[in-house]
Structure 1
Amino acid sequence: MDPEKGLGKDKGESGPIEARDMTSREGSLEKEKSPRRRSCQSRASNASDDSDPLSPLELALSPGQETFEEVARIQTTTSIGSSASRPPDFEVVFDEDDPENPRNWPSWYRGLIVFSISFTSWVVVFYSTSYSAAIPGLVEEFGVSTTVATLGITTYLLGLAAGSLLVAPVSELYGRRPVYIGCMICFTILIIPCCVATSLTEIIVVRFFGAMFGACMVTNSAGTVVDISTEQTRLLTSAMILSLWSIAPLNGPVTGPVIGGFVYQYLGWRWDNWLVLILAGVGTATMLFPKETYAPMILKAKTARLRKETDDERWWCRYDVKLSTAALVKVSMLRPFALSFTEPILWFFNVWISLIYGILYLCFVAYPIVFSQHRGWSPGISGLAFVGIGVGSMIAILGEPFWRKIINSHPKDPLTGRVPPEATARVMIIGSILVPVGQLVFSWTCLPGTIHWAVPIAFGIPFGCGNALSFIYGSNYLAGAYGIYAASALAGNAVTRSIFGATLPLAGPSMYSTLSPQWAGTLLGLLEAAMIPIPLVFYRYGERIRAKSPIIRQMREDQEKNELRAEKAQRRKARRAENAGKSTSVKVGGKTGAEDLEKGVAGPSAADAPPAAKDETTV
């Protein structure tokens, strides 16, 4: 059943009370999130804002409130409550200067929150690759092959994929803060078995479950950044803020082998885990300070407090509904897979993004082979070879104003006045070209050792820059194309690329040994070059492809229904305000005006009632 159709049946328009209740909910949404509604409408119409090309991605990274409302619509009307029990004068919303609104918190406090979640997210991602620096020590101590030891990376990435699907429904039920604290405590505790492990099997298994809990930071942290962004921030610098936040998760994999290499070289492989344990403990402690930023949870708590303080059960908010776990599972866990298997756009995008993501993680196995085994570098120094990839990622992130100009130079959509999602494909094309260029040149300059080491490291810069551009702006394209379903599309993409990132590194040792680093790298570079036509096709024919998508057509139809519903609510609100103004003017002149008011609201049958009764009927 279409949730939008169900919504119409639930609310109905059978009487003035239901109509008034629906209008009050519409009005509260405008008072609390009017800038956000305009952004959502822009997103649903498949357009990016002219001044902020990353606005669709910003909204997709914080889907919680839309998911909350969608799940509430799916449930029966009995769980939502009677419309008559929701008087509009008792609705709880954020006031203009409400200190409980996260967007009204002091700048220093919001900056502290961004630092806390960025640092903790970095720790989780850092742990995924710092393990690679310790692989030689694991091989030596437990007597296993390099391929078997690499399974620690595989299980960690699979844990992140599984956790990203499980954490989302939990955060909708309990808010962001409890999930952050609970998951990070479990993540930190599960590092201890790796520190004192007596077999490689312990490490491989425990890393999977640790990553499941650590996924809370990767999944929810960007949504927290959006939660605390002010209107001015969203309109002027949201793309830059999201880009700066992404420094931590995008550079976490690069800093892992750099720091982990020196730790392993001087302290041993166990200290690679002890270090992460210390960092995770600090990250968990920093997550204790931020307050809840998830608006539905804040408003529900405020409603409960007002009921208790005033001893009045009429206080309510639009999130004051018990969510169905089954509905949450359907929206958060099943839809990503349904879209991934039925949408041709996602078929090609998932293959492209997943391939370059898998090759990126394969590099964390390949670089030590090149620089440690063939060039004879120490583990710490060989970790510095990843600096080139990190510099490239930073260029992509800090160059956001330049990429924004490229996107906004695209012809505008005549219907919306904004650039379409295909404008983002311009940057995606640049990224798709830089990745194979960096990979191919690295492959043929990494060996022999007579070639200066700076040459292959330098070509890690275009490789890292291309990867970052493909991830950020490829995700933005999906967010702009799929509108309200963007979170599900991105979740499916995240699971697919995590699977590629988990499995491709397993082929690294044998492939580089059999083919040689030059030819193995060439094979990977040619695979990446074969993906270049994908963003080119979407740039040229993306609008036609989107027009044939059933889910996007449904989204457009639902958006039109929502706009019509909002217009009707506004007209009803205007008529009531006009009638109330007439009533007030008549009373000031010494007349009650009750009969005229009753004729406008309840019909002629109310004309014979006493004035007091008429007023009560109107109210």
Structure 2
Amino acid sequence: MDDAQRRLQSHLDEMRLEFTPDRHFVRWSASNRRHPRNWPMVRKVYDSSLIIWLDLFTTAVSTAGSSAANSAQQEFGTEPTLSIFIFVSIYLLGQGLGGIIFPPYSEAFGRKKLYIISTGLYSIFCVLVAVVPSLGRIEDMFNAKDRIWLIFLWAMVSNMGLITGPIMSTYITAALGWRWVFYVAAIVLGITTSLLFGLRESRPSLLLVREVARLRQTTGMDDLHALNPDHTPDLRTFVRLALFRPVHLFFTEPIVFMVSPYPPIYESFNFSAESASLPFLAIGIGLIAGILTRVCDNRILQNHRRDGHPLTPEHKLLGFTIGAPILAGALWWFAWTIPPHVQHLHWLVSTVALVFIGYALNEFDTVLAGYLADSYLSYAASGFAALALLRSCISAAFPLFASQMFRGLSANVAVSVLAALATLFCVVPRLFTQYGERIRARSKFAKHSLQVYHDNGVDKNGY
């Protein structure tokens, strides 16, 4: 080894970097404290808390639109369906479109700027909605074991947003008018935007490029290159490789593909328009109950590691397997303990069913999000984007016919239709546990993601 090579190796050791086995690229060493997986816990907690809070509040705003729509339709004289479309469906369709563009952008160019810009614009556009006079990071920082709890927390808080949104908007609308739903959102998001400046960029490949740029400057060796599978030299390359990745996953990846009307029901129990949404806090109790399932997940993972068995995403499907039959049973329970066909039961009887519905729905979100994160690893954002596109399209369409469905069929029959679909869905967890590993084995992108992860990660013995 000549002097130049010794100096280079000294700089690599000092910066906690190393060559790939073929010595063509520079990558992270497992002990590098600047890799997001090795950041101090305080930093991880700050960044993760802001992201989870952002998801909670934006989800709450998305569901708050339904209450605002009811008041706005009276002001503007629009049909109920059109008002729902404007205040709810357009939001969700925009969410689906943004889910196609921004997650792959974050994979190619980093996370921090995207969070700041998008949240700031969100705040501004909430003001525009209010004043108008007429008519998605965790994988970077946490390994598979820690992701069990982080993804559960993210899913639970997100679903809490679904519950708190209608309650928040109902009371704000009653006290101040529907426009203040968006004024409040703008104020809160403006404050959140300022806090986002304290985030640290967490995309490992982008951070590695910066580290190697410092190394080139220090050593004067311009032929050193970072191991960066996300490299996008120009906009055309980004559009071709990254922007169409979620669309490609949506239509070609079997892993992804497998993966509003209730307040009037409680008004029929003689609840006021404001308090009719309060029984749905029972869903929140069900969300918290998911802690018990995460404890079981951790025990399963510890047993596999103790026995030396390889860990796969299918080992974390317990909540999915339990949640499917619970959801079906709880929907049947809810369907036939509410008016109009069942008149004499206390409202608490149906509310207990909401606890189990909340538990099951949160298990679906937690397990499926974790499954995508474990399957696509560093490219999990694109997997989430494909799933979000499907969910946003369905969520945007459902409010347009849900009210007519509940009025035309009665709440009992309408919920029974959902219960029947949930009953048929009970076969899906079995398909995941029996065939999931084979499906992933046929997925070229899942295998590519795993290889990229091993090349760029610091958890060399697992994910």
* Alignment TM-score, normalising by the size of structure 2: 0.81
Q: Deviations over 1:490-544 (max 9, x none)?
A: 4322211211111112111111111111111111111111111122233344455
In structure 2, C-alpha distance between the alignment counterparts of 1:544 and 1:94, rounded to whole Å = 32
Which residue in 1 is equivalent to 2:416? Answer: 522
The one-letter amino acid of 1:249's match is S
Shift of residue 434 of structure 1? 1.6
Q: Deviations over 1:545-598 (max 9, x none)?
A: 556x3x35x8669989999x99xxxxxxxxxxxxxxxxxxxxxxxxxxxxxxxx
Q: Deviations over 1:267-287 (max 9, x none)?
A: 221111111111111111110
Among residues 441, 450, 460, which one is paired with 2:333 in the alignment?
441
Q: Deviations over 1:231-290 (max 9, x none)?
A: xxx375342233234333232111111222211222221111111111111111110122
Among residues 115, 118, 140, which one is paired with 1:227 in the alignment?
140
Which residue in 1 is equivalent to 2:310? Answer: 418
The one-letter amino acid of 1:281's match is G
Q: Deviations over 1:81-119 (max 9, x none)?
A: xx99x8x8xx68579465x54455543343222222222
In structure 1, C-alpha distance between the alignment counterparts of 2:210 and 2:452, rounded to whole Å = 32
Shift of residue 337 of structure 1? 3.0
Of 274-283 and 486-495, the range deviating more from structure 2? 486-495
The one-letter amino acid of 2:70's match is P
In structure 2, C-alpha distance between the alignment counterparts of 1:449 and 1:560, rounded to whole Å = 59
Which residue in 1 is equivalent to 2:266? Answer: 371
Which residue in 1 is equivalent to 2:201? Answer: 292
In structure 2, C-alpha distance between the alignment counterparts of 1:112 and 1:562, rounded to whole Å = 24
The one-letter amino acid of 2:181's match is D
In structure 1, C-alpha distance between the alignment counterparts of 2:127 and 2:180, rounded to whole Å = 11
| Corresponding position: 1:340 with 2:340 | no
Among residues 73, 84, 100, which one is paired with 1:165 in the alignment?
100
Shift of residue 404 of structure 1? 3.7
Shift of residue 191 of structure 1? 0.7
Which residue in 2 is equivalent to 1:178? Answer: 113
Which residue in 1 is equivalent to 2:226? Answer: 318
Kindly report which structure 2 residues correspond to 1:122-521, keeping only aligned pairs within 5 A, or say none. Answer: 122-151=56-85, 152-199=87-134, 201=135, 219=136, 223=137, 225-229=138-142, 234=143, 237-305=146-214, 310=218, 312=220, 314=222, 316-318=224-226, 323-344=233-254, 346-347=256-257, 349-350=258-259, 365-372=260-267, 374-397=268-291, 399-405=293-299, 417-447=309-339, 448=342, 450-480=344-374, 488-521=382-415
Residue 247 to residue 271, structure 1, CA distance change in 2 (3 Å): same
In structure 2, C-alpha distance between the alignment counterparts of 1:512 and 1:439, rounded to whole Å = 15
In structure 1, C-alpha distance between the alignment counterparts of 2:371 and 2:204, rounded to whole Å = 27
In structure 2, C-alpha distance between the alignment counterparts of 1:444 and 1:153, rounded to whole Å = 28
Kindly report which structure 2 residues correspond to 1:515-594, keeping only aligned pairs within 5 A, or say none. Answer: 515-543=409-437, 549=442, 551-552=443-444
Provide the secondary structure at the position in 2 that maps to 1:134: helix
Q: Deviations over 1:414-448 (max 9, x none)?
A: 9x822544444443121111222222211211225
In structure 2, C-alpha distance between the alignment counterparts of 1:561 and 1:252, rounded to whole Å = 34
Shift of residue 162 of structure 1? 0.9
Residue 432 to residue 109, structure 1, CA distance change in 2 (3 Å): same
In structure 2, C-alpha distance between the alignment counterparts of 1:453 and 1:386, rounded to whole Å = 11
Residue 486 to residue 438, structure 1, CA distance change in 2 (3 Å): same
The one-letter amino acid of 2:183's match is W
Q: Deviations over 1:350-406 (max 9, x none)?
A: 4xxxxxxxxxxxxxx21122123x234223312212211122122125641124446
Residue 239 to residue 558, structure 1, CA distance change in 2 (3 Å): closer
Provide the secondary structure at the position in 2 that maps to 1:190: helix
Provide the secondary structure at the position in 1 that maps to 2:244: helix
Higher relative contact order (CA 8 A, sep 6+): 2
Q: Deviations over 1:46-88 (max 9, x none)?
A: xxxxxxxxxxxxxxxxxxxxxxxxxxxxxxxxxxxxx99x8x8
Provide the secondary structure at the position in 1 that maps to 2:289: helix
In structure 2, C-alpha distance between the alignment counterparts of 1:97 and 1:346, rounded to whole Å = 33
Structure 1 unaligned spans of 5+: 1-15, 38-82, 202-218, 351-364, 567-619
In structure 2, C-alpha distance between the alignment counterparts of 1:293 and 1:282, rounded to whole Å = 22
Q: Deviations over 1:471-496 (max 9, x none)?
A: 22133344555677765444322211
The one-letter amino acid of 2:66's match is S
How many correspondences in the alignment?
Answer: 443
The one-letter amino acid of 2:164's match is T
**Who wins on radius of gyration, i.e. which is larger?**
1
The one-letter amino acid of 1:168's match is P
Shift of residue 306 of structure 1? 5.7
The one-letter amino acid of 2:158's match is P
Residue 559 to residue 160, structure 1, CA distance change in 2 (3 Å): closer
Residue 469 to residue 534, structure 1, CA distance change in 2 (3 Å): same
The one-letter amino acid of 1:367's match is Y
Provide the secondary structure at the position in 2 that maps to 1:291: coil
Contact 1:407/1:426 (8 A) holds in 2: no
In structure 2, C-alpha distance between the alignment counterparts of 1:292 and 1:562, rounded to whole Å = 18
In structure 2, C-alpha distance between the alignment counterparts of 1:123 and 1:559, rounded to whole Å = 33
The one-letter amino acid of 2:220's match is D
Shift of residue 344 of structure 1? 4.7
Residue 437 to residue 168, structure 1, CA distance change in 2 (3 Å): same
Of 138-147 and 495-504, the range deviating more from structure 2? 138-147
In structure 2, C-alpha distance between the alignment counterparts of 1:293 and 1:545, rounded to whole Å = 30
Structure 2 unaligned spans of 5+: 457-463
* Alignment TM-score, normalising by the size of structure 1: 0.62
Contact 1:247/1:397 (8 A) holds in 2: no
